[in-house]
Chain A
Amino acid sequence: MRRRRQAIASLAVVALMAGACTRAEGETEIGAAATGSGDQAQTADGGGAGGTSGSRLDQGTFGDLDNLCADGEPGTVTETGLTADEIHLGTVTDRGSAERPGLTQEMYDSAVAFAAWCNEHGGIGGRQIVIDDLDAKLFEYGQRVGEACQRDFALVGGGAVFDAQDNGARVACGLPNLPGYAVTPQARVAELQVQPVPNPVYSFASAGYRWLQGRFPEADKLGILWVNLDGPATIHDQIAEMAETLGFEIVFDEQYRPLGETGWRGFVQKMREEGVTAFEMIGEPENMVALQQAMQIEGWYPEFIHLQPNYYDKKFQEEGAGSVSEATYMRSPFPTFEMADEVPAMADYLELMERYNPEGKTAMLGMQGLSAFLLFATAANECGADLSRACLLEKAAAQDGWTAGGLHSPQTPGNLVATQCSLAIQVTAQGFVYDEELTEPNEGIYNCDPGNVVELTDDYGVPRPAA
């Protein structure tokens, strides 16, 4: 309990700092945000009927981002998608794909909720946000970009698995992108783009491995099991290089069938034979459950299992991950949903979804997409009457230490490097639990350390950013 209070306190500090850094006009009512956090978050968490009077959301405030959405005098600049009273924003997802229905639906759900909330409070400087639903269905990213070029001011809070499919058309038509996520190496380093949570190619967040190395000093034989589906090959290569840089020896590196395996135990047996002590799985949550069940049957576990943040998924939990997970951790820039009562912005996210899109899915990518919208709103407000595409990109990139109102760890949208700030989450029978001991937080709930990032030197097929 004491730890939690500490966390809240340190968060308030972070929020203060962030606010001080990012608010150009310094108009933030920090006190209101900080004091309000406790009670209101709890009412939202308790599932109370929406419309709690006095919640931050009711004031157009999200986390520590005060008065984000408010009526005002629209600017005079008009561009594609930017009229006197409307801003058209395109949100890309793959939710309509026949192959993987519902993929990244949560980003669209966030977009809808954000727009509804923001418009209710007057929009961005008096302009209403119109969400352009750009469903790339895996294979139609290029076309959606083509449509967006004609009618949208910017792409915000979305992403597509095959996001290189436009072959540069977005940049060619001058369409800015504040993506929820970027997947392919080409898209990660693209121009006219500001990622709220950068996903760089040549640097990788190594915090999880560094922490686990400390906790399990003997575990230096790494096994990687991954699936070559939708191109996570790059992430695999990055993890392999990062782990080797940190001194891990990769003794098992195999792929599992994209169509599913019948004999997961074979992998476990082989890992045992190879003397695997540390393990990372890159793939889909349900397969991880099956693999861990196999570990349980075999009675063998590595000393630790590390997972990427995409496993922070209710599906993983609900399909039984907790019951079979042992020493399973992930590094995340986001706190868990359960930390809503200590992280006001998390409470706000959950309340936002509950009130403005109750059918919508809450998930990590939803938060990341929301971060993009918050970044957009913040940058747009800073531009004020001079809002234009150029100004948007400039102000968004200028947000150093971006936390989306406290929703995630400080990021550097303007600088394409991996974040130094993360926290550790353990998968337990009780669900996803913040592991403070492993995190050793030094900035709020996060651990920020230059050693949390590893520079990569292999060739990933795209130009290395100029130093």
Chain B
Amino acid sequence: MDQFLQATITGLAVAAILAVAASGLVLTYTTTGIFNFAHGAVGMLGAFAYWQLRFGWDWPAPVALVVVLGVLAPLLGVVIERVVMRGLYDAPETSRVVVSIGLLAALLGLGLWMWPPDTARRFDRFWGDESVAVLGVNLTWHDVAALAVAVALAVGLRVLLYRSRPGLAMRAAVDDRSLAMLNGARPRRSAMLAWAIGCTSAAVAGILVAPSVGLSHVNLTLMIVNAYAAAMIGRLRSLPMTFVGALLVGLLDAYALAYLPTDGILLAQFRFAIPVILLFVVLLVLPQERLRGHTSRATREVIPRPPWLGSVATAAAFVAAGLVAAQIASGPDAVSVQKIVAVAIIGLSLVPLVGFAGQLSLCQMSFAGIGAVLMAHHGHGGDPKGLLVATVVTGLIGALIALPTVRMAGIYLALGTAAFAMLLDQWIFGLRDFSVGPVDISIFGTGSVAVDRLDVPGVDTDQDMLVFLSVVFALMYLLVVGIRRSTFGQRLLALKDSPAASATLGINTTLVKLAVFTLSAAMAGFGGALYGGTLGTASAMNFAFVQSLPLLLLGVVGGIGTAAGALVAGVLIGGLPLLIDVAPWFENVNRVLPGTMGIALGRNPNGIAHTLREAFGPLRRSPVLLAGTLVGVAAVVALRLADVLSGGPFALALAGELAAGGLAAQMIEARRSVRGTEAPEAGATADGAGDGVDATGHVGADVPLPLEWAGIERPFTDDEVATLDRMLGLERPAGPSLVTVGAGSTAVAATPRGAGSTASAATPGRAGNGTTEVGR
């Protein structure tokens, strides 16, 4: 009983901190529709800022607290709202998640930059370790303060939301942003207030938890995962239920520590996984979201349907690039490039899942880890059987995970997959060899396992392996192209566009999701097995949850709708750190760069690749210039091979050559357009080169005149007007509102009455959080 009381009281103190963190998360989500993955990072920054003032500069605690919680944290919230999140509220779920993960990465990098990690930082509790006895259990004043803060926050938020004007506006914004706007509320102000309060709550939690967790950037940032379960118990909506959730998580952990046996390998680390298991269970129990209709998009998404001929040419280019790289790279460099390619192969698994089907996954590296482990144990000596086992078994595990998760969508799916990744991280991947009945299971052993490189006849050196991996990447790329071109691929895109329409056409959306999840897991397992081979020895750290974040982040930055996104992810993840060796100052830049890219580009569904494709479009359409450029590239490569050019100048020359070709083509095309002649043949040569599809060609107008000349040389066509509207971000009247047919209908349609059809008749896409549920 004594132990129970002790556990309860220590559990309460932890629960208080969790409640503070989780309520900030919930408040931000309900008000703005954005699940802030960076919440923990904000808390981390808050703790460090407080340390700097209080202990670094020896300010009095009250002053430091006022500055951090009263000024810095709310300010950070306002800055995040204005700079990062604004304009994202109506964006698709993928963008919202990716940008928020980008923010997480950027803030974490910023923290590491500002407060280098290898310095000792003493962080004392408030009032030191003085304590007071409660029911015979010592409670520090620090813990008492945490409890008091939690209660004060609960009361404060209640008063704010129910008794104050800004609070009422925030609640209105939760219900319906567009409606709130019509009623004169100012959702932007509500959003700013929500972010300010959210960031402050994160900072409070960070400061309170830092003495226990220690001033560790990563640990403080990821501590928040325990609060996810609490927030989810509150269904991301209800603050009282969130507090209940925090109590549950805090107490469960304390009781588990006190009573859960830790004998045996399976139980030794089981306690760590309890919060994420809870999160997973809550996600499963939550009422199923109705099939949503299609989502509004600020930027038009392009997922080209590449023709086979062009795709094979692109695949050949990948192999050629691998050959060139193998010629240039020394052994160890070749291994670095191998890793880039292997990560890109894993990244390809995201293309069907995230790019085509719009299903978010934060556990792709976990699947890769499973693949690597299977390769380690079943691919001794590089036995191809290991690769097969890795692919098939990972696929099956993916299916197993998908069974419960397919019913989740959007942010819930992201959190569900994150929970799975954390489950592996905190529990499974740490397990030592054990047996289940007659089956001996070995994962990472005592920390790491040797993964033999796939044994391929004729592949001996690291350079050979690099070429081989390039070939594999090219083939996987063709597989992805094949998926895109197949009916299955069409179903995936349909699912992403409108699950509701897919279902009413007779598509079993559950089955499609299950299939793509399984396929993606198998691809990741396959890639992981190869990646493990390039590592030589794989450890759980290679495949941790935090490794999945940059993969998704940079994949989306690159353009996850095509193989290019995977390639960009591979190059950035594997390549950026290499720059640090050349330029040490880049280390800190590299810490914030991926996150910053995510913030800046994560909202563009098409990514860098599409922009590049556009830029080089004219080049592809001009056979003469294309040939010239290719000859130039070949010349540069030849110079490198003849050792006339060294690595640096070679890269510069290559980039210069390509840029010159692209620019020249653009200029020529621009001049042609001005003259308005010869343009029609452009479309004819568009296919066949490179990716081959110029999916942005605005077909429909008879003459593919550049849009900016339409209306000048001849009247606008309907299509051009539509395209212009879209480009200018004007809402297109999808509903009946602008067309007057029949009596009485116009007025009614424009201002919907009654809730029954609110969402469907109001300006499309503005209701709710960018997603309109069909049937409200």
Direct contact of A and B (CB under 8 A): yes
A interface vs B, CB < 8 Å?
96, 98-102, 105, 135, 137-144, 146-147, 150, 162, 164-167, 184-185, 228, 230-234, 237, 253-255, 257-267, 269-270, 273, 284, 286-287, 289-290, 293, 296-299, 314-320, 324, 361, 461
Q: Number of B interface residues, CB 8 Å?
A: 71
CB pair A142–B536 under 8 Å, yes or no, is yes
Q: Which residues of B contact A139 (CB under 8 A)?
A: 535, 539, 541-542
CB pair B11–A287 under 8 Å, yes or no, is no
CB pair A261–B332 under 8 Å, yes or no, is no
**B215 part of interface (Cβ distance < 8 Å):** yes
Which of B216-224, B390-398, B406-414, B638-646 forms contacts with chain A? B216-224
Q: Which residues of B contact A164 (CB under 8 A)?
A: 448, 450, 537
Q: Which residue of A lies closest to B253 (CB)?
A: A263
Q: Which residues of B contact A324 (CB under 8 A)?
A: 129
A102 to B117, CA, bound (A): 7
26 A-B residue contacts at CB 8 Å?
A: A99-B218, A101-B116, A105-B118, A137-B577, A139-B541, A142-B535, A146-B332, A147-B330, A165-B535, A184-B447, A254-B268, A261-B212, A262-B250, A263-B14, A263-B254, A263-B257, A265-B10, A266-B254, A286-B214, A287-B214, A290-B212, A293-B125, A298-B138, A315-B120, A318-B122, A461-B446
Q: Which residues of A contact B175 (CB under 8 A)?
A: none
Q: Which residues of A contact B122 (CB under 8 A)?
A: 318-320
Given contacts A138-B541, A269-B3, A298-B138, contact A290 B447 (CB under 8 A): no
Q: Which residues of B contact A314 (CB under 8 A)?
A: 120
- Among the listed B3, B120, B140, which residue makes an inter-chain contact with A318, where contact means beta carbons less than 8 Å apart? B120
- Among the listed B209, B537, B580, which residue makes an inter-chain contact with A142, where contact means beta carbons less than 8 Å apart? B537
CB pair A101–B537 under 8 Å, yes or no, is no
CB pair A228–B258 under 8 Å, yes or no, is no
A234 to B446, CA, bound (A): 7
CB pair B212–A260 under 8 Å, yes or no, is yes
CB pair A233–B257 under 8 Å, yes or no, is no
- Among the listed A143, A185, A293, A318, which residue makes an inter-chain contact with B336, where contact means beta carbons less than 8 Å apart? A143
Q: Which residues of A contact B116 (CB under 8 A)?
A: 101-102
A234 to B447, CA, bound (A): 9
Given contacts A139-B535, A263-B254, contact A361 B118 (CB under 8 A): yes
A267 to B253, CA, bound (A): 12
The distance from the CB of B225 to the nearest CB of chain A, in whole angstroms, is: 8
- Among the listed A264, A266, A270, A319, which residue makes an inter-chain contact with B121, where contact means beta carbons less than 8 Å apart? A319
**B331 part of interface (Cβ distance < 8 Å):** yes
CB pair A259–B218 under 8 Å, yes or no, is yes
- Among the listed A143, A287, A299, A317, which residue makes an inter-chain contact with B138, where contact means beta carbons less than 8 Å apart? A299
Beyond the given A147-B330, A259-B222, A262-B223, could you list 16 further A-B residue pairs with CB under 8 A, ordered by the A residue number?
A: A98-B591, A102-B116, A164-B448, A164-B537, A228-B269, A232-B447, A258-B430, A260-B213, A260-B216, A263-B253, A263-B257, A265-B6, A270-B258, A286-B216, A314-B120, A319-B121
- Among the listed A105, A259, A270, which residue makes an inter-chain contact with B426, where contact means beta carbons less than 8 Å apart? A259
- Among the listed B138, B254, B268, B577, which residue makes an inter-chain contact with A255, where contact means beta carbons less than 8 Å apart? B268
Q: Which residues of A contact B3 (CB under 8 A)?
A: 269-270, 273
Q: Compute the total of residue contacts between A and B using a CB distance below 8 Å.
A: 184
- Among the listed A135, A167, A260, A286, which residue makes an inter-chain contact with B537, where contact means beta carbons less than 8 Å apart? A167
Please provide the 6 A-B residue pairs with the shortest distance between their CB atoms, ordered closest to farther. A231-B447, A102-B118, A318-B120, A260-B213, A260-B219, A266-B257
A267 to B254, CA, bound (A): 9
The distance from the CB of A155 to the nearest CB of chain B, in whole angstroms, is: 14
- Among the listed B123, B212, B336, which residue makes an inter-chain contact with A263, where contact means beta carbons less than 8 Å apart? B212
**B272 part of interface (Cβ distance < 8 Å):** yes
B interface vs A, CB < 8 Å?
3, 6-7, 10-11, 13-14, 17, 112, 116-125, 129, 131, 138, 140, 209, 211-216, 218-220, 222-223, 226, 250, 253-254, 257-258, 262, 268-269, 272, 330-332, 335-336, 426, 430, 432, 445-448, 450, 452, 462, 535-537, 539, 541-542, 577, 580-581, 587, 591
CB pair A231–B120 under 8 Å, yes or no, is no
CB pair B125–A233 under 8 Å, yes or no, is no
CB pair B536–A264 under 8 Å, yes or no, is no
Q: Which residues of A contact B535 (CB under 8 A)?
A: 139, 142, 165
CB pair A266–B10 under 8 Å, yes or no, is yes
Given contacts A255-B268, A266-B257, A318-B120, contact A166 B536 (CB under 8 A): yes
Q: Which residue of B lies closest to A166 (CB)?
A: B536
A253 to B131, CA, bound (A): 28
A29 to B491, CA, bound (A): 85
A138 to B542, CA, bound (A): 9
Q: Which residue of B lies closest to A169 (CB)?
A: B536
Q: Which residue of A lies closest to B336 (CB)?
A: A143
The distance from the CB of A165 to the nearest CB of chain B, in whole angstroms, is: 4
Q: Which residues of A contact B253 (CB under 8 A)?
A: 262-263, 266
Q: Which residues of A contact B258 (CB under 8 A)?
A: 266, 269-270, 273
Q: Which residues of A contact B445 (CB under 8 A)?
A: 461
Q: Which residues of A contact B124 (CB under 8 A)?
A: 320
A101 to B332, CA, bound (A): 22
The distance from the CB of B12 to the nearest CB of chain A, in whole angstroms, is: 10
CB pair B448–A254 under 8 Å, yes or no, is no
A260 to B47, CA, bound (A): 15
A350 to B222, CA, bound (A): 38
- Among the listed A146, A162, A165, A269, which residue makes an inter-chain contact with B331, where contact means beta carbons less than 8 Å apart? A146
Q: Which residues of A contact B580 (CB under 8 A)?
A: 96
Q: Which residues of A contact B269 (CB under 8 A)?
A: 228, 255
A101 to B253, CA, bound (A): 30
CB pair A230–B336 under 8 Å, yes or no, is no
Q: Which residue of A lies closest to B550 (CB)?
A: A98
CB pair B117–A96 under 8 Å, yes or no, is no
Given contacts A102-B118, A266-B7, contact A297 B140 (CB under 8 A): yes
CB pair A162–B335 under 8 Å, yes or no, is no
A317 to B122, CA, bound (A): 9
A261 to B138, CA, bound (A): 19
Q: Which residues of A contact B13 (CB under 8 A)?
A: 263
Given contacts A139-B542, A290-B212, contact A254 B335 (CB under 8 A): no
A367 to B481, CA, bound (A): 56
A259 to B211, CA, bound (A): 14
CB pair B331–A150 under 8 Å, yes or no, is yes
The distance from the CB of B430 to the nearest CB of chain A, in whole angstroms, is: 5
Given contacts A96-B587, A262-B14, contact A143 B332 (CB under 8 A): yes
A23 to B335, CA, bound (A): 43
Q: Which residues of B contact A284 (CB under 8 A)?
A: 214
CB pair A231–B218 under 8 Å, yes or no, is no
Q: Which residues of A contact B125 (CB under 8 A)?
A: 293
A134 to B140, CA, bound (A): 47
CB pair A142–B140 under 8 Å, yes or no, is no
Q: Which residues of B contact A263 (CB under 8 A)?
A: 10-11, 13-14, 212, 253-254, 257
Q: Which residues of A contact B462 (CB under 8 A)?
A: 146
A431 to B229, CA, bound (A): 42
CB pair A254–B262 under 8 Å, yes or no, is yes
Q: Which residue of B lies closest to A186 (CB)?
A: B450
The distance from the CB of A289 to the nearest CB of chain B, in whole angstroms, is: 8
CB pair A297–B121 under 8 Å, yes or no, is no
Q: Which residues of B contact A461 (CB under 8 A)?
A: 445-446
CB pair B118–A165 under 8 Å, yes or no, is no
The distance from the CB of B377 to the nearest CB of chain A, in whole angstroms, is: 14
- Among the listed A96, A99, A102, A269, which residue makes an inter-chain contact with B541, where contact means beta carbons less than 8 Å apart? A99
A265 to B119, CA, bound (A): 26
A170 to B226, CA, bound (A): 43
CB pair B219–A259 under 8 Å, yes or no, is yes
Q: Which residue of B lies closest to A185 (CB)?
A: B446
Q: Which residue of A lies closest to B121 (CB)?
A: A319
A254 to B260, CA, bound (A): 11
A414 to B507, CA, bound (A): 71
Most buried by A among B226, B432, B536, B591: B536
Q: Which residue of A lies closest to B546 (CB)?
A: A99
A164 to B538, CA, bound (A): 10
A185 to B447, CA, bound (A): 11
Q: Which residues of B contact A293 (CB under 8 A)?
A: 125, 129, 211
Most buried by A among B119, B257, B581, B591: B257
